[in-house]
Structures are given as C-alpha cells and as structure tokens.
Amino acid sequence: MSYGNSPALILDSGSGGLTVWGEIVRHLPQLNTFYLADFAAYPYGLKSEQELTDRVILLLQTLVPVIRPGLLVVACNTASTIVLDTIRQQFPFPVVGVVPAVKTAASLSRNRRIGVLATPGTVQRQYLEDLIHQHASDCQVTRVGSNALVGWAEDVSCGQLPDLELLQREIVPVLEAECDQVVLGCTHFPLLKPFLLQISPHIGWVDSGQAIARRVADLLTMAGASTLPGESSVRHVAVSSGTKVNPEWENGVARLGFHQVMSLSI
C-alpha cells in the first residue's frame, strides 16, 4: 500500500471531523485524503444506535468500492462509541475511532477537577463512564451534554461567529466547578476553541486530534506505506452527502486546502 494509491477516508456527520483531518494532514502532509461530511444524516447525536450503525455501513458500502481507502477514521465521538466493531467485521482496512481525551485531561489537571463537553448521547454512554473510571477516578468530573455546541461549531465552519454570551451560558457547569482541564469530547468542539479561550483562557481545552493523527501514522507505517512524499501531487477531496453542497461550506473547506468539493446523493 502507498499513500498515493490508498487515501485515508475520514467520516463525520458534518464539519467536526475537519479538526481531525487538519491534524492528520499536518502530521502526514504527503497523505491523500477523502473527507465525507454526512450532512444528510446530521446530527449523529440524535440517532438511535441502530439508525447510526445502518447509516454508516450504507455510506461505506457506497464509497469503499469507489475510493478504495487504505484506512478509515471515524472522526465522530458518538459514532466511535457505537459502530467501530461492526465496521471492523465487514471491511478489511484499519479503522481508527475517536476517544474523548479523558486520560490526557486527568494527567494535566492540577486541581483534580476536569470537565467533559460532549453530545448528550456520548455523555450518557457507559463508554465514557468507563474511561473516567479507568483514567480519572481521582478527579471530580463535570459532564455537559450539548447539541447547541455542535450547531454553533457548524456555523463557525461556514464563517459565522458564535454569540459568546450564549456560549458561556452553555458551559456554565464546568466554569462553576472550577475545572482546570476540559475535554472537548466531540470533534466539532475544537472549532469553538478560540472562542472558549476568550471566555476562559486559564482552562486547558483538550481534544484528541493529535493522538488520532499519530495513530494514523503508526498504522500506515505498520502497513508498509511510505513515510516520504511521493512524486504525484497530494489530493484532498471533500464530499457532502445530500443533493447539493452548501456554498459557504464549500468555500470554507477550499480555504483549508481541499482541491475538490462535491455532493453525494445518499
């Protein structure tokens, strides 16, 4: 397998996974990528586990024969807690999921008070509880489940600024708990990080993007992929599910460095 012949497929319900994509291409600038924003099924956090599993499998059954990825990144915390095992059973390539950076936040916390911002579904799942028990059992952990943050992050990806007063209200629990580290437990939320820092610059806002990029690099190296730039030019393709692409989103991803933007009716 080589980077040129086998792009990395990165999947999310919207723009959140672009934060993961950005870390991956920074670590691996020679890697071809194919990013799918599943706007037709956005947001994943409101779907049942069966609905979400069926949707992701349908997308992969449609795309994999066409783009032949060498690796898949499920760049969505909600989907990662539900569909990874099913994907691995049905497809031959390595699959990387997203794990809320609870371990990192706990290791950085000085006052042993950490927060987790995520979707309501992620906050309620036993998966998160197990992470906290394993890595942050000595910490006071404040959980905030929010769909509003997801929507505001999507707005940012299209060039709209969030209302800082509304944003501050949404994260009041972690502010009142005096958390010194807060996990951004949804890949959408790093899009809000500049604004969260304006509200509370003393808090460490922790996401898992860099860890995912390192994992992708390790898997590609183990698979025998070259770690040196190839002769052919690198290509980044962004796809939006649905009948047409939002022009603001298209402009936004073009500014990030995508060479082609298209829609997928599915």
The pLDDT score that the predictor gives to residue 46 is 86
Indicate whether 81 pLDDT > 50: yes
Mean pLDDT within 180-206:
97
The pLDDT score that the predictor gives to residue 230 is 52
Please report which confidence band the pLDDT of residue 5 belongs to, taking 50, 70 and 90 as the band edges. Answer: low
Indicate whether 192 pLDDT > 90: yes
Question: 205-262 pLDDT, tens per residue?
Answer: 999 999 999 999 999 888 766 544 454 678 999 999 987 889 999 999 999 999 999 9
Question: 27-47 pLDDT, tens per residue?
Answer: 999 999 999 999 999 999 889
Please report which confidence band the pLDDT of residue 1 belongs to, taking 50, 70 and 90 as the band edges. Answer: very low
Question: 107-118 pLDDT, tens per residue?
Answer: 999 999 999 999
Mean pLDDT within 69-85:
95
Domains and CATH numbers, the chain: 8-98+210-264 (3.40.50.1860), 102-207 (3.40.50.1860)
Those residues whose C-beta lies under 8 Å from the C-beta of residue 207, and which sit 6 or more positions away, are 19, 101, 183, 184, 187, 189, 190, 193
Q: How far apart are CA 23 and CA 214, in angstroms?
A: 9
Question: 129-161 pLDDT, tens per residue?
Answer: 999 999 999 999 999 999 999 999 999 998 899
Angle between helices 209-222 and 17-27 (to 10 degrees): 50
The pLDDT score that the predictor gives to residue 234 is 85
Indicate whether 4 pLDDT > 70: no
Q: How far apart are CA 111 and CA 140, in angstroms?
A: 9
Q: How far apart are CA 4 and CA 233, in angstroms?
A: 8
Q: What is the mean pLDDT of the chain?
A: 93
Those residues whose C-beta lies under 8 Å from the C-beta of residue 255, and which sit 6 or more positions away, are none
The pLDDT score that the predictor gives to residue 227 is 46
Those residues whose C-beta lies under 8 Å from the C-beta of residue 266, and which sit 6 or more positions away, are 40, 58, 59, 62, 241
Please report which confidence band the pLDDT of residue 172 belongs to, taking 50, 70 and 90 as the band edges. Answer: very high
Query: Which residues are known catalytic residues?
Result: 76, 186
Q: List, in sequence order, every residue forming a beta bridge with 145; answer none if it has no partner.
A: 118
